[in-house]
Amino acid sequence: MLPYARQDITQEDIDSVVKVLKSDFLTQGPQVPEFEKVISKFCNTKYAIAVNSATSALHIACLSLSLGPGDWIWTSAISFLASANCGLYCGAKVDFIDIDPLTYNISPRALEEKLIEAKKKGRLPKIVIPVHLCGQSCDMKAIHKLSVEFGFRIIEDASHAIGGRYLKEPIGNCKYSDITVFSFHPVKIITTGEGGMAMTNNVELADRMLLLRSHGSTRDPKQMIGNFEGEWYYQQIELGYNYRMTDIHAALGISQFSRIENNISRRHEIAKRYNLLLSDLPLKLPYQSPDGYSAFHLYVIRLDDQNLHKHFFTSMRKKGVNVNLHYIPLYRQPYYQCDRLIFSDFPESESYYSEAISIPLFNAMSNQDQDFVVQSIKDSL
């Protein structure tokens, strides 16, 4: 079965991990700070906090912005579960925003309309989480402008988008947000096995997230309450979690990162070739905004005939192509149905759900793999 995505591990990656395994530190050693330094420099961001998953990064990002019971958090209707669940972990309530019909990211128009209505009802969100679906940036300038007008904070869920750019600047620089989160899951642009990172330019947010990722404890006398009793002394000053990244994972990340530009370049080559080979078929191909440069984590096609969607999906799987769906609208999940969200409130998300299919795209994909996918699409149609 040809996967829709998979990791690309080289001998250099293996050597980097083995070196750590033979070292004195498997965790809480020098590799994690080095990985943070590498990513923050690449993104032109002041602070980077590495954690064991992007979900953990989203959670501590919400906590650092003091999200809690009684607050609202809004995110895209089309995203992975973690983009919404992070708000529930904090005791907040979650609502969703419909997508733009071209980019499949949060629609600034839909967001503005929802904000106007929410202001009338006194239930404006404390945090909005735009999701850079497939690796393409949301219209962050427009979203940031709305944040100034309506007073919400912004966490960019850039789990798909490390290495991408927006308005010629790196995604992750937090120019239009408080915090940006990356994922290093095996199917992403680079991997640490499992892992994530939170980027910010705010020292207070960075310090809070550093505390939260490691049980809320500190050895820094400046953060302690009362007297510092000696070099052996530490204090837990708030309730935190064990969200640390290990040196093993960080070493893999550093090695993987050395190829990030080549990885994304190759993904663009594959996408460009798909565009050419699929151009004469009854499909809607991915739109790319001139404002950005996508990391191309996913290549999503849409069928013109919604009635064929399920049959096409099944046919492709039978032919040995592991197509996927990214994603089922979050408001359709049974866990969120208790909020009685109305599907008709999200017309673009509903349309997307009935038409979208992710076809294989990964760094090591060969032209022969791609030809097999294209022929399978033609046969299935």
Average pLDDT of the chain to the nearest whole number: 96
Cis preceding-peptide flag for 327 (omega within 30 of 0): yes
> What is the spatial distance between Cα 104 and Cα 265, in angstroms, rounded to a whole number?
22
Tell me the domains of the chain and their CATH numbers.
11-257 (3.40.640.10), 260-380 (3.90.1150.10)
Phi-psi sector, 167: left (phi>0), alpha (psi -120 to 50), beta: left
> What is the spatial distance between Cα 302 and Cα 311, in angstroms, rounded to a whole number?
13
Among residues 167, 175, 154, which one has the least CA distance to residue 106?
154
Among residues 212, 145, 197, which one has the least CA distance to residue 175?
145
CB environment 321-335: b (16+ within 10 A), e (fewer): bebbebbebbbbeee
pLDDT digits (tens, 9 = 90+) for 112-138: 999 999 999 999 999 999 999 999 999
Q: What is the DSSP letter of 285?
A: P
Cis preceding-peptide flag for 293 (omega within 30 of 0): no
pTM for the complete prediction?
0.96
Structure tokens at 278: 């699929």
> Which residue type occupies 22?
K
Cα dihedral sign, 165-168-174-176? negative
pLDDT at site 307: 82
pLDDT at site 317: 97
In the predicted model, is pLDDT for residue 34 greater than 90?
A: yes
For residue 291, report the phi and psi dihedrals to the nearest 5 degrees: -80, -10
pLDDT digits (tens, 9 = 90+) for 132-191: 999 999 999 999 999 999 999 999 999 999 999 999 999 999 999 999 999 999 999 999
pLDDT class of 343 with cuts at 50, 70, 90: confident
pLDDT at site 129: 98
